[in-house]
Amino acid sequence: MLSQPQVHEPRFDDVKRGDLKTRLAGLQRRCEEAGLPVLVQIDGWECSGKGYVLTHLLRDLDPRSTSVHVFEDLSDEEREYPPSWRYWRAIPAQGQIAVFDRSVYTALMNRLDLDEADDEARLAAFAATERALTDSGMVVVKVFLDIDRDEQAKRIEQYASDAREVLLDKRDRWQNKRFKALSERFSDVLSRSNFAFSPWHVIDARHRKQASIEVLGVTCEAIEAALAAREGVAQPPIERAYGTPPSIVGQVDLSLALDDDEYDDVLDDLQKEAGALAYRLAEARIATAMVFEGMDAAGKGGTIRRLVKRIDPRLLTINPTAAPSDMAKEHHYLWRFYNNLPPRGRIAVFDRSWYGRVMVERVEEFATVPEWERAYGEINAMEKEFTDDGGLLLKFFLYIDPDEQLARFEARERDKPWKLTDEDWRNREKWDEYVAAVDEMLGRTSPDDAPWTVVAGNDKQYARVSVLRTFIEAATAALGSSDGSGKDD
């Protein structure tokens, strides 16, 4: 049996399972009304009764508000992304209940060959995911069904001798042969992922019916606690300790420029080199994400077009980030961006990105102070998982001064009025607020493995060439440090 966290003593042994099912069904309706998302992860030893427990957990729930996701071995597609990618894609929307057959941690628990650094990186990424989800209000219930080696062996033989043989695979006997080593591994992972905000419930699963009762009980209690917290007193305003950010964009030399002859001399060669490097990145199976942010009318679109002109479109996806859709609003704000991360060997360009959380959503008060304050850490964690998995991440901020922006607005008003909106003028009135938000963003989200490149944008030709050169330099460096095989899970 496992050591830490402690196995739960039966807490609901005097409660009827039917009463708990009715109670959970009532809580599901309250979750729908409150917009409360619930994620239940059911993990445990093979043959510990995960399917049985899951069946009774779901039996009386409304299927229209419930989803089930089976996380067995990684598919070929899933191997092309960072470890938490497939879980982010499956998280529940507001008011929905999602149940995972196996958890975020299953593959990690069953790996005995990871080195310490890789092990720590994966656990840190999963911890950051759970923290981001629970901070946003999601209920995360983690259950581990525990049995001993003899019980597992007995069930394997029982399943092999009746209609349940279809449920067996080679992993079941593999686990039983390595039970001692895996027990230590499971205990270690469970202990290191037993967070106050999402603790493990380790349940004695030798008696399947009682195990299902315990899972129903802890799930009901977790949802009831979350609903009660939502109905409690309002939280006091957050006091920020960051202070005034140092001026970063104010230090940019906006006089940097290229005349037409200089621009024409270098542009085509740089574009050809960028296109050739894209093929080499594909061959080396390096996922590449490029983020473009900037002041309104800073020239992001034109810069992106020049950057990708000679890149094979089969290797490339452009993601223009507009206001979130209704579906995106029902999920954590990072959900839609995880869905658009590139697989290994491909390039994704984000014309605006997840950084909207700490810029426009902050300035326009679409997000609360606690929401955008914690976003810096959430973003850093997402990007670190991407780069830890071997990805290349480039982040460009195109900066122009107010006079140049006004000149471009007036030119658009005259020549391309469809490119200018009332919102652009409103944002201009908040120039100083946006600059403060940008400076803080650049200061707090520029680690060594994913630094910001601030591009002087008053001269469009200089900005375009600068971005091309930065991509070429970064891609060349990434290829030089890559073994050409990409990481495998």
Q: What does the pLDDT look like over 321-351, one tens digit per residue?
A: 988 999 999 999 999 999 999 999 999 999 9
Helix 369-388 crosses helix 431-444 at what angle (to 10 degrees)?
Answer: 40
Angle at the Cα of 102 (from 97 to 104), degrees rounded to 5? 85
Residue 396's pLDDT is 98
Based on its alpha-carbon atoms, the radius of gyration of the chain, rounded to whole angstroms, reads 26
Cβ pair 169, 160 in contact under 8 A: no
Residue 234's pLDDT is 62
CA atoms of 171 and 111, how far apart (whole Å):
12
pLDDT (tens digit, 9 = 90+) per residue, 70-109? 988 888 899 999 999 999 999 999 999 999 999 989 999 9
Cβ pair 484, 284 in contact under 8 A: yes
Which residue's structure tokens are 């959900």? 335
Peptide bond into 5 cis (omega under 30): yes
Cβ-based neighbour number of residue 240 at 10 Å: 10
Residue 261's pLDDT is 97
pLDDT (tens digit, 9 = 90+) per residue, 299-329? 999 999 999 999 999 999 999 998 899 999 9
Cβ-based neighbour number of residue 163 at 10 Å: 7
User: Residue 419: pLDDT band by 50, 70, 90 thresholds?
Assistant: confident
The larger pLDDT score, comparing residue 166 to residue 463, is at: 463
Average model confidence (pLDDT) across the chain: 93
Q: Quick one: which of 198, 205, 185 has its CA closest to 51? A: 205
Cβ pair 274, 476 in contact under 8 A: no
Averaged pLDDT for residues 23-29: 97
| Kind and range of the H or E run holding 70 | strand 66-70
Averaged pLDDT for residues 418-445: 93
Q: Quick one: which of 348, 332, 267 has its CA closest to 302? A: 267
Averaged pLDDT for residues 283-299: 97
The larger pLDDT score, comparing residue 186 to residue 10, is at: 186
Residue 391's pLDDT is 97
Residue 241's pLDDT is 74
Residue 242's pLDDT is 80
CA atoms of 433 and 363, how far apart (whole Å):
7
Residue 1's pLDDT is 43
Distances in Å between the Cα of 37 and the Cα atoms of 44, 90, 419 are 23, 12, 38
Q: Quick one: which of 135, 129, 77 has its CA closest to 100? A: 129
User: What contacts 435, CB < 8 A, 6 or more positions away?
Assistant: 249, 250
Residue 14's pLDDT is 83
Q: Quick one: which of 390, 15, 454 has its CA closest to 256? A: 454
Q: How far is CA 344 from the centre of its chain?
A: 16
Residue 161's pLDDT is 82
What amino acid occupies position 119? D
pLDDT at 9 over 80: no
Distances in Å between the Cα of 476 and the Cα atoms of 41, 155, 405, 446, 469 are 41, 54, 34, 20, 11
User: What contacts 160, CB < 8 A, 6 or more positions away?
Assistant: 168
| Alpha-helix residue ranges (DSSP H) falling in 284-430 | 300-308, 326-329, 335-338, 360-363, 369-388, 402-415, 422-429
Q: Quick one: which of 49, 53, 70, 71 has its CA closest to 147? A: 49
CA atoms of 348 and 343, how far apart (whole Å):
9
Residue 488's pLDDT is 57
Percent of the chain at pLDDT > 70 equals 95
User: Residue 2: pLDDT band by 50, 70, 90 thresholds?
Assistant: very low
pLDDT at 295 over 60: yes
User: What contacts 40, CB < 8 A, 6 or more positions away?
Assistant: 57, 97, 98, 99, 100, 141, 143, 219
Cβ-based neighbour number of residue 354 at 10 Å: 21
Cβ pair 464, 302 in contact under 8 A: yes
Distances in Å between the Cα of 440 and the Cα atoms of 37, 102, 289, 483 are 31, 39, 22, 36
Which residue's structure tokens are 């990105």? 353
Strands 452-456 and 316-320: unpaired
Residue 233's pLDDT is 57
CA atoms of 460 and 354, how far apart (whole Å):
24
Dihedral sign for Cα 325, 330, 332, 336, please.
Answer: negative
The larger pLDDT score, comparing residue 463 to residue 10, is at: 463
CA atoms of 238 and 236, how far apart (whole Å):
6
Residue 165's pLDDT is 65
3-state helix, strand, coil in the chain (%, to 5): 55, 15, 35
User: Residue 483: pLDDT band by 50, 70, 90 thresholds?
Assistant: low
- pTM greater than 0.75: yes
